[in-house]
Amino acid sequence: MMDDMDQKIVAALIADGRAGNNTIARELGISEGTVRNRIRKLIDSGYLWVSAWINPEMVEDHQLFMLGVKVSASKDLTKIATAISELKEVQSVCITTGRYDLLVEAWLPSKHGLIQFIDGPMIEIDGIVSTESFLAMKTFKKWLDPGQ
């Protein structure tokens, strides 16, 4: 569990992801070593992931798509969600309630990217019954992992 100091360190990183350990330590009145060790423990435990993100509105040759996915058997939700999440184009996968079993966020090339994605890696995953795609025409407060 994160304690109050961990939460303050994370808040400092959210405010300025480029802030150095010394700067955070000075702001919080603790040592640089304490900040460094706590950040390492947060990363190692899976509570924190530090990365650079891009604004999808600034990239002209890619588009953000959401796909609603129906699966053949509920017992396979986690297996199928995991397989989809491992595709390099995928930003996130959520198991959901409602009309679709999964919601997938994919970062794809503008020209033919969606059809190549659906007809390529998605078709290889057993248990997908159908998909419905949605193009993100404009995003707000959305950042993407450029490594995807």
CA distance 63 to 111: 9
Contact 69, 117 (CB under 8 A): no
CA distance 44 to 50: 11
* CATH class of the structural domain 56-135: alpha beta
148: confidence class by pLDDT, cuts 50, 70, 90 = low
Asked if 4-45 and 56-135 have one fold, the answer is no
The percent of residues above 70 in pLDDT, for the chain, comes to 99
Long-range contact set of residues 134-142: C-beta below 8 Å, sequence gap at least 24: 134/65, 134/66, 134/67, 134/68, 135/63, 135/64, 135/65, 136/56, 136/63, 136/64, 136/65, 136/66, 138/57, 139/56, 139/57, 139/64, 142/55, 142/56, 142/64
**How is the chain split into domains, by residue range?**
4-45, 56-135
Q: Could you read off the pLDDT of 18-72 as tens digits, one per residue?
A: 899 999 999 999 999 999 999 999 999 999 988 888 888 898 999 999 999 999 9
Indicate whether this model's pTM tops 0.75: yes
User: What is residue 9's predicted lDDT score, i.e. its pLDDT?
Assistant: 96
User: What is residue 17's predicted lDDT score, i.e. its pLDDT?
Assistant: 87
Is it true that domain 4-45 has CATH number 1.10.10.10?
Answer: yes
What's the rounded mean pLDDT across residues 59-87? 96
Contact 85, 148 (CB under 8 A): no
